[in-house]
């Protein structure tokens, strides 16, 4: 199941479309372009949505996005066990402040890594703080695990690697919480949330505008 993405640039094909070489590894894809909110992966999962809505006020792609409040959460609890495989969790986020809130987390009690939260002006990747990007703009956030060896899990903000850490955990949790965790709801907009298991899409710096296969 393990696929390591090489460092070749991902290229848009002619006609404005994209060809994602890891489409078969995508286990959850919330584009934010349909209501009710649904999984657009090749093997759609059942999700439970509590309070998140589709909004045309802000969007990165397609004219709409998912609006999360301080209490909303989208839960998927099937077919998404990471184990020790490579994985990539990513999305575009638009926030007006970086007060307490969460982007995603694993586990019944929403405290299992990998998770990403905002708090007091910082972004926390698995509990490690990094300076948050500007407010009132779209930003691409990603966690990509290349392997379980030393410094093979990478944190990215807008395609710039913030750190590489060691994450050898055998992740057995099945419940993914999107837009909420133990620090509260995202309270902002989310576009193109994608979860890939079996592929580390980003091991080095990349251009999120052209290298993600998210545009459509």
Match 């094909």 to its residue by tokens. Answer: 13
pLDDT digits (tens, 9 = 90+) for 53-72: 999 999 999 999 999 998 88
How would you classify the pairing of strands 3-4 and 138-145?
unpaired
C-alpha span between 167 and 153 (Å, rounded) = 6
Higher pLDDT, 46 or 108: 46
Domain 3-120+144-200 has CATH 2.60.120: yes
Structure tokens at 143: 């966690």
- Is residue 82 predicted with pLDDT exceeding 70? yes
- Are the C-beta atoms of 48 and 215 separated by less than 8 Å? no
Strand pairing of 53-55 and 65-68? Answer: antiparallel
What percent of the chain is predicted at pLDDT more than 90?
61
Please tell me the predicted confidence (pLDDT) of residue 9.
Answer: 35
pLDDT for 179-214, tens place per residue? 987 667 888 999 999 999 999 999 999 999 999 999
pLDDT at 6 over 50: no
More confident: 101 or 140: 140
Assess contact for 102 and 118: CB atoms under 8 A. Answer: yes
């Amino acid at each position: 199941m393990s696929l390591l993405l090489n460092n070749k640039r991902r290229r848009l094909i002619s006609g404005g479309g994209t060809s994602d070489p890891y489409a078969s590894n995508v286990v959850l894809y919330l584009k934010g372009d349909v209501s009710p909110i649904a999984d657009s992966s090749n093997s759609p999962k059942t999700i439970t949505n509590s309070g998140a809505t589709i909004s045309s006020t802000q969007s990165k792609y397609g004219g709409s996005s998912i609006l999360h409040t301080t209490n909303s959460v989208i839960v998927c609890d099937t077919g998404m066990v990471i184990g020790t495989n490579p994985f990539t969790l990513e999305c575009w986020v638009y926030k007006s402040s970086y007060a307490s809130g969460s982007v995603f987390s694993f586990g019944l009690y929403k405290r299992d890594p990998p998770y990403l939260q905002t708090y007091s002006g910082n972004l926390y990747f698995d509990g490690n703080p990094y300076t948050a990007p500007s407010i009132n703009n779209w930003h691409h956030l990603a966690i990509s695990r290349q392997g379980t060896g030393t410094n093979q899990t990478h944190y990215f903000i807008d395609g710039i690697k913030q750190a590489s850490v060691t994450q050898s955990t055998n992740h057995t949790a099945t419940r993914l919480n999107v837009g909420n965790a133990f620090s509260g709801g995202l309270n902002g907009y989310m576009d193109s949330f994608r979860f890939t298991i079996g592929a580390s899409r980003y091991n080095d710096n990349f251009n999120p505008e052209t290298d993600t296969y998210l545009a459509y």
